[in-house]
Structure 1
């Protein structure tokens, strides 16, 4: 019932969740009813598994098999525990650098960011369980395999991760246009974490209220913003530049 990245069929997905499979996202047929389907929905909710209701045509494109209205994507990586990772990095004696992604939705952007993060020595990437791009074949390809080389943590809410990082002595810096502070005037030499927002909405306003610093890139042309993966690269390499001096 399963290939490397997919499980299909309502009962098969239920069994996979109960068996502790590393499920990244489940696609459910919009408007479907029934006792077994309701059981699956409840199970996904209890386990905070990302789900999306889609037309049957979308499911038919995902698999040619009898999906019965449910297709699950399996993550090719094991996710790390945030608290354990932060503690390990701090105890190693190096100056931590973390990256938080607030619901980046495009898998190519996600993969490109992972690749840049690995190249710039980021200690871990923190993503939200719901609303972001999945870790799938496209992510692996765009990241050039970096997804296997850098720890990735999933949390219920990005804001909770911000509070935990701050409590651990790590300064949280938001990449946002909603500030007058330029990137090059912000210090990244102390323990730091950078938040990048989603392609359309940016960083959640409630999260922006609790960060330690905000910074933006100078825009000299007519287009108001950069692609998020390009902006992320600029932020990370500024951190690298400062730390190499």
Structure 2
């Protein structure tokens, strides 16, 4: 039986991955009798790329998905490339070679797969070149992450590093300015200059960034909070911050 990490669930996730990397598909399992307008494009793409398709009863798909919402579509795929700290300099250099400014997102201690999936989606929409996470105590790419990310898990490199602070220092040596978000910061997001090569650091909801991560940042900012709520979900906060950077870069 396929491991969960080898499976992709849902219409959007499967179709997005098939468009991006059809060579990774091993097999496609579809709900028997379902050939509507949402499924037919997937069937046609599978035929185009020579991907094996099996039609199954719902119980068989439910058993394969182990409780995940599959929408009648499950794909067995080969693992994607695993990115490590050794890839960071290449990502920055390739970005500069295209005359673009490095734009990175660092997540410290984000363990919820739904949050990671939503952050990947935010990052893809904002034009981020990579997300950097610690190897330990952080969510990994799972079927849930892929489903929430709606294809972004395949387009945005998720770089897993052994020592986050050390990797941040390596980025600083490459000219990347690192902005961290912290409730105790005195400067608002909207008062900060957010142009040039940049990495945004988001900590886990509640705990925030770890001490060493915070101390390694070049600058700390906060979101102005007007109500009684003291913090936002990390994926919501990352979306706000990322698109403020995008806005300033367009001005």
Residue of structure 1 in register with 2:225 after alignment: 219
Unpaired runs of 5+ residues, structure 1, are 7-61, 64-73
**1:1-245 matched pairs, under 5 angstroms:** 2-3=2-3, 5=5, 76-80=79-83, 81-245=87-251
The answer on whether the counterparts of 1:173 and 1:215 sit within 8 Å (CA) in structure 2 is yes
Report the secondary structure of 1:179's partner residue. coil
Q: What is the TM-score with the length of structure 2 in the denominator? A: 0.68
Unpaired runs of 5+ residues, structure 2, are 7-64, 67-76
The answer on whether the counterparts of 2:110 and 2:204 sit within 8 Å (CA) in structure 1 is yes
Report the secondary structure of 2:216's partner residue. coil
Residues of 1 paired with 2:128 and 2:140: CA distance? 20
The answer on whether the counterparts of 1:5 and 1:75 sit within 8 Å (CA) in structure 2 is no
Question: Closer, same or farther in 2 for the Cα pair 1:122/1:75, shift >3 Å?
Answer: farther
Q: What is the TM-score with the length of structure 1 in the denominator? A: 0.69
Give the CA RMSD over aligned residues. Answer: 1.9
Residues of 1 paired with 2:170 and 2:230: CA distance? 32
Residues of 2 paired with 1:173 and 1:75: CA distance? 35
Residues of 2 paired with 1:76 and 1:186: CA distance? 40
Report the secondary structure of 1:196's partner residue. strand
Cα displacement (A) at 1:189? 1.1
**Greater share of residues in helix:** 2
Residues of 2 paired with 1:172 and 1:191: CA distance? 9
Report the secondary structure of 2:96's partner residue. helix
Residues of 2 paired with 1:244 and 1:75: CA distance? 38
